[in-house]
Structure 1
Amino acid sequence: MKRVLLIGAGEVGLKHLSVLTATAGVEVVGVADPAPGQGVPGGLPLFESWRAALTVVSADLVVVATPPGIALVAARDAAATGAAVIVEKPATLTAADLEPRVGDERVFVAFQPHFAPGLDLLLAGPGRVVGAEVSLAVRRDHAYFRGWRRRFATAGGVLHQQAIHGLTLALRLIPGGVESADARVIHHRGFADTEDHVLASIVLAGGRTVSVDACVDYPGSPFHEVVLQYDDGRRVRVRGRNLEAGVGAISDAPTHQQLRRRLYTEVLAAAAGHPVHPCLFPLSALRRPLEVIDHVYRHACVIRAASTAGA
C-alpha cells in the first residue's frame, strides 16, 4: 500500500483526491490546506501547512496542487523527505526558479494528458517534428477568476494555466531556443489581469515553428488540440477536450481519472528505480516552456478592447 499526502485541497486538489481515494493500492494519509474545499472525506488527517504535514506524515508520494510559487517550494520540501512528488503546472511563473537543486529528480509535473493514447511512442522517438499548431478554446467566466487566479503575478496567463498542456507537448517534440515571436494578447472582458485570447507565432532554432491560438471566452464546445508537422509532410493530430484522445479516436479516449492513475503509477515506479516513462515530465524540463512563454508575453502586442468589463 502506497501512502499519499495531498498538499492543496482546492478545486484541482479535490480532483486528485477523488481519484486517489478510489485507487487500489493507495492510501491517502493526510491533506494539507489551511482552508480545504468542501469534499474532503471525513476521517482524513488535516494539516494547516505542508511543513507541519511533512514532519508528521511519512508518504511515498506527495501530490502538490497549490497556486504557482507556493507549489514549487512545497514540492521541493516534499522531495527533501525522500518522497516522489507530483506538482501541478506551472509550479512557478519564473524560469530562473528552476535552476537544478538536489531532490528535483524526484519531482514530476502533472501533465496527465501527455499519457493519452499513442503519445508514449511520439515522445519516445520524436523524429523530426518541424512545426506544431496548438489550439485551445474554452469558456472561463467571472467566477473562475477569483482569488489567486485574478492576478498575473500569482496566476500567470492563458499560456501558463490553460494552453500549457499542448504547448509543452509541442516543445517536448521540437528542439531549439526561441529566435522570434510574433504575438497578440487580447483583453476585452476585464475579469482579471489574465487575458481572454493569445495568438502567437513562435520561430525556434532551425526554422521550426510553433503557433498558438488559445482563448478562454469561447462559446462553443471546448477543445485543446495539437497538430504536429513532420519533415516528411506527415501531419499528426493530438485531439480531445484536453488532448486526452491522443492520436486515437475521440470515442476511445481514456477518462481524466484513468490518466491521473497512470501518472501516479509511473511516478511511483520511477521512484522505485524503474526506467522513467517517456510521458513523465521532470521538473527540470519545465524551464524551457516557461522561457518560451515568457518570451511570448514580453514581446506581444497587448490589445485592450473597449468592451464593458463583465460583459
Structure 2
Amino acid sequence: MAKYKVAVLGGGAIFSRHLAALQAYPEDYQFIGLFDPRASVIDKWRSQLPELKYYSSEEEVYQDSEVNCIVILTPSNLHYVQAKKALESSKSIIVEKPVSFDANQVLELESLAARYNVDAFCVLQVRINPSIAIAKRIMVEELLGDIRGVGLIQRWQRPLDYFSGWRGKYSSCGGVLFEFGIHYLDIMQQLLGTPKVLAANSFYTKFQGTDVSDTTYALFDFGSFGGTMEVSLAAEPRNIELSLTIMGSEGYLKLGGRSLDQIVACEFLDPERLARYKRICSEVLGVTIDNQVTIGACPHHPELYKQIIHNPDLFAIKNTHDVIQLVSEINALDKRSF
C-alpha cells in the first residue's frame, strides 16, 4: 500500500509538476482527490483525471478519512493557515515554498507535526542538485581555505503580466525573495551558515503597476567575511545570470546554470586541492568533470517526491526555518519592500 494517500489543494500552474511526481511513484503515493475554488480549474482536471475525487469545499479535504497527506499548492499567503489545518486534522503535508512568511510559524508547524505524529515537508528542490552535493563536500573538506567573501546574483526576466492576480500583491506573494530568491538564499545558507543582514534596499524598475518590487539588494555579515545579494526580475530580453561565487584563501567556487546546477568554475592555488576536488566530483557523480560542464539539471518534482521517501530529513519543514528567517530580516530592513 502507498505510504501517502494524497489530496491536493490548488490546481494551478504548479499542479502539473506535482501530478507528474504523484504518478511517477504509485507505490508510495496514491492520488485521491483535488480541491480548487475555481470551477474552470476543476472542470479542466475532471476531464483529464476522472478517477479523482473533486471536493466541493476545502473543509472536505481535511475531513476525508481516506486521505493521510495534503499537498498545498495555493497562493503563498495561504500556506501556513492551510498547513496548520491539515496537521490538526492528522494529515501529513507537502507544501510549496514558502511554508510561511514568518519563521516562528514554521516552528509552530513543526511542533504540530510532532504532536499529531505526522510528517511535514517543504518544496525546496534545488537542494538535490548534484552540484550542491559537490559544493557541500568542498566546504566540509575546506578546500577553499579561509572564506573571504560570497556573492549571490540572480538576474532573471519575467513578463510584465507575471506579477498579476495574487502575485501582484506583496501581502499575497511575499515579494521577489519569497517568490524567487528563496531557493538560492537557501543554498547560500546551507554552504556558509546564517549571516547578519547589514543593509537591504529594493527598486520598482519594471513591475510598476504592483506593490511588488522587482529588484532587491542586500549586504551580509558572516562574521569573518562579508557577502552581497542581488535578486532581480528586470532583465531583458531573457535571463542573464544565476550564480553563487565563494572566494577563499586557497581558491574559489562558482555555481551557475539554470538553478545552480552547474559548477561554472572551481580553481585552486595548488594541484593537491584540485586533485581532491576531482575525487569529490567522481565520488558524488560517478564520473570526473571539468569546469563549465553541466552536471545535472535541477531535479524536478518527481525526484523531490522520491527523496521525501528515501531522504525525508532533507525536506523536513524544520529545515526551511532559517531561510525564511533570513528573507524576513532582509525584508524588514528593506522599507521599500512593503
With the length of structure 2 as denominator, give the TM-score of the two structures: 0.74
User: Which range moved further: 190-199 or 60-69?
Assistant: 60-69
5+ residue gaps, structure 2: 265-288
CA RMSD of aligned residues (A): 3.0
Question: What do residues 29-78 of structure 1 show as CA deviations (whole Å, max 9, x unaligned)?
Answer: 11122126375233121124443113215345432111223212222333
Aligned to 2:277: none
Deviation at 1:238, TM superposition (A): 2.7
Look up the match of 1:155: 173
Question: Aligned to 2:36, which of 33, 36, 46?
Answer: 33
In structure 2, how many angstroms separate the alpha carbons of the residues matched to 1:91 and 1:246?
A: 29
Structure 2 counterpart of 1:164, from 182, 193, 203: 182
- 3-state secondary structure, aligned to 1:288: helix
Match of 1:216 in 2: 233
- Matched ranges for 1:194-209 at <5 A: 194-204=212-222, 206-209=223-226
> 253, 256, 262: which is aligned to 2:296?
253
Per the alignment, residue 282 of structure 1 pairs with 316
Which residue of the partner structure matches residue 74 of structure 1? 82
- Does the alignment pair 1:112 with 2:125? yes
The answer on whether the counterparts of 2:205 and 2:234 sit within 8 Å (CA) in structure 1 is no
Task: Quote how far apart the aligned CAs of 1:115 are.
Answer: 0.8
Correspondence for 2:285: none
Q: Residues 5-45 of structure 1, C-alpha deviation per residue, up to 9 Å, x if partnerless?
A: 22211112233224423545343111122126375233121
Q: Which amino acid aligns with 2:30?
A: E
What residue number does 1:191 align with?
Answer: 209
Provide the residue aligned with 1:294 in structure 2.
Answer: 328
Structure 1 residues 23 and 132, CA, compared in 2 at 3 Å: closer, same or farther?
farther
1:185–1:302 Cα contact (<8 Å) kept: yes
Residue 263 in structure 1 maps to residue 263 in structure 2: no
Change (3 A) 1:208 1:262: farther
Q: Partners of 1:230 and 1:133 in 2: how far apart?
A: 9
CA-CA distance at 1:193 after TM superposition: 0.8
The letter for the 2-side match of 1:174 is L
Counterpart residue number, 1:17: 19
Question: Could you say if the C-alpha distance between residues 136 and 42 of structure 1 is closer, same or farther in structure 2, counting changes exceeding 3 Å?
Answer: same
- For residues 266 and 81 of structure 1, the distance between their equivalents in structure 2, rounded to whole angstroms, comes to 25
DSSP 3-state at the match of 2:166: helix
Distance 1:262 1:252 in 2: 16
Q: Secondary structure at the match of 1:163?
A: helix
Match of 1:102 in 2: 112
Moved more, 230-239 or 261-270: 230-239
User: Does the CA-based 8 Å contact 2:25-2:306 persist in structure 1?
Assistant: no
Corresponding residue number in structure 2 for 1:54: 62
Q: Describe the shift of the 1:51–1:223 C-alpha distance in structure 2 as closer, same or farther (beyond 3 A).
A: farther
Letter in 2 for 1:31: L
What is the CA distance between 1:227 and its match in structure 2? 2.2
Aligned residue pairs: how many?
292
Task: Give how far 1:162 is off.
Answer: 0.8
Residue identity matched to 1:112: Q
User: Take 1:260 and 1:199, find their aligned partners in 2: how far apart are those partners?
Assistant: 29
Deviation at 1:230, TM superposition (A): 5.7
TM-score normalised according to structure 1 size: 0.80
Q: 1:98 to 1:252 in 2, by over 3 A?
A: closer
1:91 aligns with 2:104: no
Equivalent AA in structure 2 for residue 93 of structure 1: F
Aligned equivalents of 2:79, 2:296: Cα separation in 1: 29
Identical amino acids, percent of aligned pairs: 19
Q: Which residue of 2 aligns with 1:306?
A: none
Say which is worse superposed, 101-110 or 245-254, in terms of deviation.
Answer: 245-254
Larger gyration radius, structure 1 or structure 2: 2
Q: Does structure 2 retain, via aligned residues, the 8 Å contact 1:115–1:259? A: no
| 124-133 vs 209-218, greater mean Cα deviation | 124-133
8 A Cα contact 2:253 2:263, kept in partner: no
Greater alpha carbon shift after TM alignment, 97-106 vs 148-157? 97-106
* Structure 2 SS opposite 1:236: strand
User: When you count helix as a share of all residues, which structure comes out higher?
Assistant: 2
In 1, the alpha carbon distance for the partners of 2:211 and 2:127 equals: 29
Name the counterpart of 1:307.
Answer: none
Counterpart of 2:155, as a letter, is A
Q: Secondary structure at the match of 1:135?
A: strand
